[in-house]
Amino acid sequence: MELDPPVAIEDKGALTAARALGVVAATLRQNRLEDTLNALGPPGQWHCDPHAGTLNLRGRTFAAEMLGSFDGHNWLWSWANPFLRIPDEKTRISRGAREADERIGTSVVATPFVALGDLTPHDIAQLVTGYGLADAYYVCQFPGSQVVYALVPGQLTPSWPLLYELQRAVTSALADGLANGARALEHAAMQLGLATERSRDSLVVRDGDDHLTAKLADGELRDITSTVTLR
């Protein structure tokens, strides 16, 4: 059994733009996973089963699907993997990304075998989580390969107020160099079901009586404040 050769990314600009739009939402979801794992205890052994659709981390078993695998150069989506014969019902997240290629805005999610170049599996996984197709993702390290699992939605509940989660994610993304942050913040707020109001020099996100205000300069985020107090 052989695979067709990997396909080089032709729309890297579109991929980069799609990832940038979803980076705040993806960061928020990864923060939820990190908080959940820290509450369970110190790191330990993990175990994954693509056919059962499970991922065990720190003694807790999550419903999780194999998103794809990376051999150091090339990414193979789980729905296109001819070797593992994973049941269709355990590749719903990766196939959902494939079917959402126009909404996400890059053909990479619909290309079975991709030569990533200078990108990593994290870039691919952030597309999936940043567009709300999974709760979060986890990278399992194997000799000579990395396998990414996506947590089935609905398992990670917020530990903090939504606006605090949002502010934390934006701050983290800004530290890593956030481009087009206002749109990324709006995108994440929309996924959380929060109302937004945007003017030329500010973006306000509301959750009931609480609000988060992002000051804008030339469309970019400059300062973020929130009325949320943690008790």
pTM: 0.95
Q: What's the CA gap between 11 and 105, in Å, rounded?
A: 9
Nearest to 150 by CA among 13, 58, 33, 39: 33
pLDDT in tens, 82-128: 999 999 999 999 999 999 999 999 999 999 999 999 999 999 999 99
DSSP 8-state class, residue 77: E
Tokens encoding 113: 């075998």
Q: What is the pLDDT at residue 229? A: 80
Q: What's the CA gap between 112 and 52, in Å, rounded?
A: 22
pLDDT in tens, 125-150: 999 999 999 999 999 999 999 999 99
Tokens encoding 203: 């973006």
Q: What is the pLDDT at residue 118? A: 93
Q: What's the CA gap between 183 and 220, in Å, rounded?
A: 9
Side chain identity at residue 25, one-letter code: A
Q: What is the pLDDT at residue 155? A: 97
pLDDT band at 230 (very low <50, low <70, confident <90, very high): confident
Q: What's the CA gap between 164 and 211, in Å, rounded?
A: 10
Please provide the average confidence, as pLDDT, over all residues in the chain. Answer: 94
pLDDT in tens, 4-20: 899 999 899 999 999 99
Q: What is the pLDDT at residue 1? A: 59
- The answer on pLDDT for 184 being more than 90 is yes
pLDDT in tens, 148-181: 999 999 999 898 999 999 999 998 888 777 767 8
Q: What's the CA gap between 220 and 64, in Å, rounded?
A: 36
pLDDT band at 188 (very low <50, low <70, confident <90, very high): very high
Would you kindly state where each structural domain of the chain is located, as residue ranges?
7-151, 162-226
Q: Which of 77-81, 109-113, 190-194, 220-224 has the lowest mean pLDDT?
A: 220-224
Q: What is the pLDDT at residue 176? A: 73
Residues 6+ apart with CB under 8 A from 145: 69, 70, 71, 72
Q: What is the pLDDT at residue 3? A: 84
